[in-house]
Structure 1
């Protein structure tokens, strides 16, 4: 027996004079359907024979003039592949469409009248229907009559999902019903599935919302992600997982740790019972993990040197993550020793890895205070170990005021040079008369105040003076010539001038007590020879006395007793360069 060939669609038939018009086909379709209904006794099931199988359809001989067609999707993937000659039980569910009867493998109970559809339409209720095919703009649904379901009201998002609905039974609401009372069979209906799905979802959500309680641990699926968190489906009720409740450590973006579709165990933190219609639920993920601060006392101690990453900064300091969920604050005052920090970003940037010293731990407030400058070492403490009074330091002029200049001798250490200690050559109106900001200079340490962390410096002390030259050119034991300026009888000492501005004390022996009253009261003294000695920088001995010098009259009491104005030889018994000290005794 030859396998019958299915009727091809009209556009595939060769053009002949006997080709029927589209109107004739419609008329035949109506007559055939009426005949089929009459013979089936209400759309009874028919044992049809497969006549052909294509890539997407199965054509069957149902005993009518025109074959019927089933989509290939009507056959489950687990079934044996259908082949020509196989018997398949079907029901005619629609008239001729594209040249074939529309079939279904399910029994379709078509009402003998449409009163139930009219009642459902009037009550805006729902009815069951079977999706019969995909057409332009939507789907065709058999609800007892052929109805159109627009794609926008299917509740699906793309064409692929539409095709999956073919052959499925769905619940729909009739939004338009136009019945032909004339009996011509020109009935029309439009249905809506999306509103039914939304109502069912809301009902399921309300039921699920009523089952939830704060503190519960529930399962959920990440439905969507935002900058501020993730929305989690708890099985019909949506909840917000805020970014701050995802993990104990700081997260820049939820997408860094979560993805749509992730299955999570979360804890219900808050349910907005005051507005149940809004169904607001807040959940947390980190709350199911141990709190990092529970082990802080074991992991961190005062004075400990730690390393961390700068996570954010504020006007008052920078926050450093020491461990996931544990941050410490470096206050702006703890960032540098002597340098005034105007804003934290001048010293550290977000993302920097820094080392700091723990200055304080407050477990109750969950705060850790950190010091950045302490980790770098105290430059002041290091300096005073090697620098003392009289030492020479070098640095850069960092700033100036009307009363002096500040010299930065090390990072964070600025010392004061008073205006009176800048130069001895002239009186200054302002330090800028001789100094410039950024200029490198050397200075001598005059004083160190360790408690106040201050150091007083002098530049002029490094400029050579007559004292410096005299001390540099002589040694202890040398004989020099000088003039006695005055005598302190009580202390038995004399003040001797060795050169211009060079004065030195001289201890007098007890046997050389002067008779001050015997000293001449008047009379000029010729110091021209002494001036000559000054010019020669006092490189003389006792025998090198000037021939023309006219010494003052000696006291009558003793020819050897010293007296003011006397020029004589002295022996150097002490020379100290740093303190510029000179001490004499009579030669």
Structure 2
């Protein structure tokens, strides 16, 4: 009829909150305190268990080896993993070794008191530290990824992460694929994936490439959509004329909306045959209608090129027929430089009278002989159509007149000439 006291802290090795489950059970205890005078007896079951655990610990330490697969009980769960009781010794199962896939928290996979089978990854006998792996006792899904995920296959998965460069899709436990931002749209309309996709959404994609060595799968979203570039070549043959609205004017050209999913570009070099410094802001205004010619459709590089100057013939194309070498012209001086003067021969076409061709006499400064606005007679002495250069000579024209070989000068740069090729009221006004 002697009674003893069992403190809650001495019931088990691990702290026990609810003691009702032990009522009525027969167990072995160790007397850790005895006061005969007061009739006070303090018992401990924990001391018995620790002794047993110590014997078992020595046994386990003598048997344990790296690579072994053992069973254990989940003892404690933390944010970074779980401690597993292997029988006398605890091992750490890190969160990264719990699953081949993503693990948000260890508690999503296991709970305290669960029995699990794990692999000994690392064992430090001196420090009595054991590292465990759960995923290592399961088949690595990447070993058959090449068979499961072949290029061109349509797959479905959950978006697990959204980055500014793409989205990660979980295809299976431990298998994720990346849809890069460049593979989301044929027209590159998606610039920032975070504005279009959310984690947790289900999405379909096409397998583009599988790299099992680096555990990477490249996926594509646009491959499941019709490519608008496929129809453009047939709809807009090179050389055809089109009309559209100017969508935007940038430093290198103007983008034109033709009512398609892709915009076309009029490059600054395709605005005028003769203007050297084209002011795009003066040539185009956003929202205005513009007519142009289709120059090229590059499906591979996704470039749709238009040209405005191609609507009219290149004035340099037959310049040698209109102004052959030996022709005497009458033209207006448009500017004077240190090395000579430029005259306008046709709209946008200028010729140079070099300082050495201004007079038979020595000329120190061109402005002593010619000034801007002067009308002069000069002879075409050379013409380079490819370089777009025409050289003229006043003294050659004078000599021709003096020796009798002078012909009536060609009148150039008249008002009619200056307006030639211009569509008044158009964007090329």
Give the alignment's TM-score, normalised by structure 2: 0.58
1:309 aligns with 2:143: no
Q: Secondary structure at the match of 2:104?
A: coil
1:300 aligns with 2:159: no
Structure 1 residues 165-184: aligned runs within 5 Å:
168-174=27-33
> Distance between the aligned counterparts of 1:411 and 1:233, measured in 2?
66
Give ranges in structure 1 of 5+ residues lacking alignment.
1-92, 95-131, 133-140, 142-147, 180-184, 466-486, 491-563, 565-587
Give ranges in structure 2 of 5+ residues lacking alignment.
313-320, 325-409, 411-429
Aligned to 1:336: 185
> Distance between the aligned counterparts of 2:141 and 2:68, measured in 1?
22
Aligned to 1:352: 201
Q: How far has the Cα of 1:448 moved from its partner?
A: 1.2
1:407 aligns with 2:259: no
Greater RCO (CA < 8 Å, at least 6 residues apart): 2
1:419/1:428 contact within 8 Å kept: yes
2:29/2:43 contact within 8 Å kept: no
Tell me: CA distance 1:273–1:150, structure 2 relative to 1, closer, same or farther (3 Å): closer
Tell me: CA distance 1:199–1:349, structure 2 relative to 1, closer, same or farther (3 Å): same
> Distance between the aligned counterparts of 1:299 and 1:154, measured in 2?
53
Q: Secondary structure at the match of 2:182?
A: helix
Q: Secondary structure at the match of 1:210?
A: helix
Q: Secondary structure at the match of 1:201?
A: helix
1:386 aligns with 2:238: no
The correspondence for 2:281, drawn from 431, 438, 441, is 431
> Distance between the aligned counterparts of 1:460 and 1:263, measured in 2?
80
Structure 1 residues 98-177: aligned runs within 5 Å:
132=3, 141=4, 148-155=5-12, 156-161=16-21, 163-164=23-24, 168-174=27-33
RMSD: 4.3
The correspondence for 2:295, drawn from 447, 465, 474, is 447
Q: How far has the Cα of 1:409 moved from its partner?
A: 4.7
Tell me: CA distance 1:408–1:227, structure 2 relative to 1, closer, same or farther (3 Å): farther
Greater gyration radius: 1
Tell me: CA distance 1:252–1:407, structure 2 relative to 1, closer, same or farther (3 Å): farther
Q: How far has the Cα of 1:348 moved from its partner?
A: 3.6
Tell me: CA distance 1:189–1:363, structure 2 relative to 1, closer, same or farther (3 Å): closer
Q: Secondary structure at the match of 2:143?
A: helix
The correspondence for 2:132, drawn from 248, 262, 282, is 282
Structure 1 residues 131-530: aligned runs within 5 Å:
132=3, 141=4, 148-155=5-12, 156-161=16-21, 163-164=23-24, 168-174=27-33, 185=37, 188=40, 190=42, 192-195=44-47, 197-276=49-128, 279-284=129-134, 286-314=135-163, 316-339=165-188, 343-388=192-237, 389-392=239-242, 394=244, 397=247, 399-409=248-258, 413-418=262-267, 429-431=279-281, 435-436=285-286, 439=287, 441=289, 443-450=291-298, 452-457=301-306
Tell me: CA distance 1:366–1:430, structure 2 relative to 1, closer, same or farther (3 Å): same
| Number of positions where the alignment pairs a residue of Structure 1 with one of Structure 2 | 311
Q: How far has the Cα of 1:270 moved from its partner?
A: 2.4
Q: How far has the Cα of 1:447 moved from its partner?
A: 1.0
Q: How far has the Cα of 1:342 moved from its partner?
A: 5.0
